[in-house]
Structure 1
Amino acid sequence: MKTGIRAQADSSVDARRRRLVLALPLLGALPYMSAVAAPHAAGDAGLSMARKSLALMGTRVDVVVPDSKASELPELLQCIDAAFMRMQQLERLMSRYREDSDVARMAAAAGVKPVRVAPEVLEVLLQAQRLHAQSGGALDITIGAVNKGWSFEPGREQVPSDADVKRALALVNMRQLVVDPKMGTAFLQRPGMALDLGGIAKLPILQAGLQTLQDKGIANALINGGGDVLIAGSNHGKPWRVGVRDPNAPQQLLGAMELQGRGVVASSGDYERSFVRNGRHLHHVLDPRTGWPTQGVHGVALRADRIEDVNGWGAALMVRGNAALAEFSARNAGIDVMAGLSDGSHWLSAGMELRLQRVPAA
């Protein structure tokens, strides 16, 4: 689902090009940029990073913390391990692929009884309900029933029949997801209903990892999870550089942004988990109104200070299409927006035009 946002710190255009070329073999196969690139320009060669990577949520998550001396490294790595443990804990609760997750238990009890869920899951469900209303239904986590008929795993691609999609769509209805914050329960009212939190759970999970680092006194860090990047503080006193992949040409970067303090860049795209069947490009961002992949927008990247302002909106804007971009931007002046459109053009908000430093064509 993600357009592949890459953390970058080298200010040299030539160096950025070289790193991009080296990463190209990975871009076509994996939903992330392979790692955080060389963290400093040549003059900063004495500075270093503590970093670890782990497979989470169907992608690779990189955690990067600047360190100033070698003696800090063991302690920083322990803090990073704690952040990963927290993210793994939340993934176990929200994954639809684990039988013991809260999401799976809700599906098993659909139409039967409410299920007590963890507070973190409850909050994501409430966020999903709010976003469903704000987006006019473009984001609907009850699309899990439709997703069962699709497979985007390489070598095991699967397309449901029109009849299967129609039957599953009858089970897509956010009004039949009842969340009771006082009781701490959630209830899918019809048998066969299922949730898919893939479009809205990742950012809160990454945020929990970042919060774990901050609770341990780490003020400067970056977490890159399959194209979603969260930053805190700075990179050895300099802004973090976050590169944005071009949704219309996924093997290239469209540009880079310098971020400092706190911030998030979230992205969605139609080419990471995708395949072509009978000449039709099919991808995993499904329209809850049709049960079929979205059309018109190849990918969206959003920059904001808080994850709450962008969480879920990448996929929602792909569902709503080109016409929704200007409306969303006008209502959310503090969010920078970039979208790659099906005609090969790009739509950028005024804020994104100012912030995005274009990478010259190689």
Structure 2
Amino acid sequence: MKIKKNRIAIFLIAIICMIPLYSCDNADSEPLSKTEYMLGTICTITVYDHKSDAVLGKAFSRIKEIENKMSVNKSGTEVDGVGDAAGKKFVKVSPDTFYVLKKGKYYSQQSSGVFDITIGPLVKLWGIGTDHARVPSIQEIDEKKSLVNYRDLKLDEKGKRAMLMKPGMSLDLGGIAKGYAADEAGRVLKEEGVQHAIVDLGGNVLTINDSPDGRPWNIGVQDPFKARGNSIGTVSVTNKTVVTSGIYERYFEKNGKKYHHILNPFTGYPMNNDLASVTLVTDISVNADAMTKNIFYLGLDKGAKYVKNIKGLDAIFVTKDKKVYVTEGLKNNFKITDSGFKLIHNIK
């Protein structure tokens, strides 16, 4: 079995490739940039109009605070506490965690359970992205599927408490916590007076205003068939978030077959359709983070219809046969840079 896991190589790629596609002629506009490994990914923040490293420190401290409360990659988090008490009692959580749980339950309901923050038992069973990744038996999958149901997450608004109703249930906020962290890092930067910056949390990119010369930021869209840092094209955005989910990010191979991390809670197996990745462009990263999984599940045609019905939301779909489809709002803002991909303008 081959596991895709090489943090050092990814770290080097991130430092080289995640600097935005923009350069300054004015030495006074040289950016400040910092990279750390958090939330199970490479996180890079680049600021273009601030002279103090302290501003980066404050943004990363906020990300760390969120990671310590709700990351699936750390033990002893508030999310773990809710899981440990499953079927027993309510657990008081911080306003941060309660906000994300509430958002997560909303999008779980809105997607009819395609995106489900109680998918923790299935995620742990597969172990994709860890040293113990494996293909579970049908019996194991059926057992864990019975523990996945967002309706069994009860939230007490007044007391900021959460409870999972069945023993064995657990939460996984990996599909939404990065978006919240990106939004919060952006908020911290703005409060510190930053006017031009990019927050990149490994697939969740948030831009603050435009670039220092007044032009939109050009953000690379990840090639879903290559290592992180390789792009198929660029999307031009101002004061937007760009969030991508795809089959490239975490996977393992068994008997020549790849198993990626985007699980279908109804089958218990990785989602399988014509899509290789979905990139959303909108205003709030936490919302986009949750919606990408539902849109990925829906596929190209139904996914495009979903996007069309959400105000201020646009999408870039990359199919497994290397065709790229963009929704109406991005037709003048997206450019293919890799000739191996073909841009198709009309979506049914």
- TM-score, length-normalised on structure 2? 0.87
Establish whether residue 285 from structure 1 lines up as the match of residue 266 from structure 2.
no
Question: How many angstroms does 1:240 deviate by?
Answer: 1.8
The equivalent residue for 1:257 is 235
Question: Which amino acid in structure 1 is aligned with residue 35 of structure 2?
Answer: S
> CA 1:155 to 1:137, structure 2 compared with 1: closer, same or farther past 3 Å?
closer
Establish whether residue 49 from structure 1 lines up as the match of residue 31 from structure 2.
yes
Equivalent-residue separation in structure 2 for 1:83 and 1:241 (angstroms): 22
Within the candidate set 234, 242, 245, 2:219 is matched to 242
Equivalent-residue separation in structure 2 for 1:79 and 1:329 (angstroms): 35
Deviations 1:146-178 (A, max 9, x none): 111112336543222111111000100111000
Equivalent-residue separation in structure 2 for 1:214 and 1:138 (angstroms): 34
Question: Which amino acid in structure 1 is aligned with residue 264 of structure 2?
Answer: D
Establish whether residue 340 from structure 1 lines up as the match of residue 318 from structure 2.
yes
Deviations 1:188-207 (A, max 9, x none): 00000000000011111111
Equivalent-residue separation in structure 1 for 2:12 and 2:158 (angstroms): 38
Equivalent-residue separation in structure 1 for 2:92 and 2:13 (angstroms): 34
Identity within the alignment, %: 28
SS of the counterpart of 1:182? coil
Written as runs of structure 1 = structure 2, the 5 A alignment for 1:129-168 is 129-153=105-129, 156-168=132-144
- Deviating more after overlay: 210-219 vs 170-179: 210-219
The equivalent residue for 1:11 is none
Question: How many angstroms does 1:345 deviate by?
Answer: 2.5
Establish whether residue 266 from structure 1 lines up as the match of residue 243 from structure 2.
yes
Question: How many angstroms does 1:114 deviate by?
Answer: 0.4
Within the candidate set 93, 110, 118, 2:94 is matched to 118
Deviations 1:331-362 (A, max 9, x none): 02521211122343223212222210221539
Deviations 1:283-304 (A, max 9, x none): 1110011111011121100001
Question: How many angstroms does 1:28 deviate by?
Answer: 8.2
Equivalent-residue separation in structure 2 for 1:359 and 1:84 (angstroms): 32
SS of the counterpart of 1:149? helix
The equivalent residue for 1:299 is 277
SS of the counterpart of 2:15? coil
SS of the counterpart of 1:142? coil
The equivalent residue for 2:78 is 102
> Once superposed, what is the RMSD of the aligned Cα atoms?
2.5
The equivalent residue for 1:34 is 15
- Deviating more after overlay: 270-279 vs 150-159: 150-159
Question: Which amino acid in structure 2 is aligned with residue 145 of structure 1?
Answer: P
SS of the counterpart of 2:44? strand
Length, aligned pairs only = 331
Question: Which amino acid in structure 1 is aligned with residue 106 of structure 2?
Answer: R
Equivalent-residue separation in structure 2 for 1:247 and 1:164 (angstroms): 29
> CA 1:111 to 1:31, structure 2 compared with 1: closer, same or farther past 3 Å?
farther
Gapped runs of 5+ residues in structure 2? Answer: 1-5, 341-348
The equivalent residue for 1:354 is 332
> CA 1:124 to 1:271, structure 2 compared with 1: closer, same or farther past 3 Å?
same
The equivalent residue for 2:68 is 92
Written as runs of structure 1 = structure 2, the 5 A alignment for 1:326-337 is 326-337=304-315
Question: Which amino acid in structure 2 is aligned with residue 298 of structure 1?
Answer: A
Deviations 1:228-257 (A, max 9, x none): 110112322332221112335667422112
Question: Which amino acid in structure 2 is aligned with residue 315 of structure 1?
Answer: K
Within the candidate set 299, 318, 331, 2:296 is matched to 318
Structure 1 runs (4+) deviating above 3 angstroms are 25-47, 153-156, 248-252
Equivalent-residue separation in structure 2 for 1:38 and 1:347 (angstroms): 23
> CA 1:59 to 1:53, structure 2 compared with 1: closer, same or farther past 3 Å?
same
Question: Which amino acid in structure 1 is aligned with residue 83 of structure 2?
Answer: A
Establish whether residue 58 from structure 1 lines up as the match of residue 27 from structure 2.
no
8 Å Cα contact 1:28-1:272 kept in structure 2: no
SS of the counterpart of 1:175? helix
8 Å Cα contact 2:20-2:219 kept in structure 1: no
SS of the counterpart of 2:289? coil
Gapped runs of 5+ residues in structure 1? Answer: 1-24
Question: Which amino acid in structure 1 is aligned with residue 160 of structure 2?
Answer: G
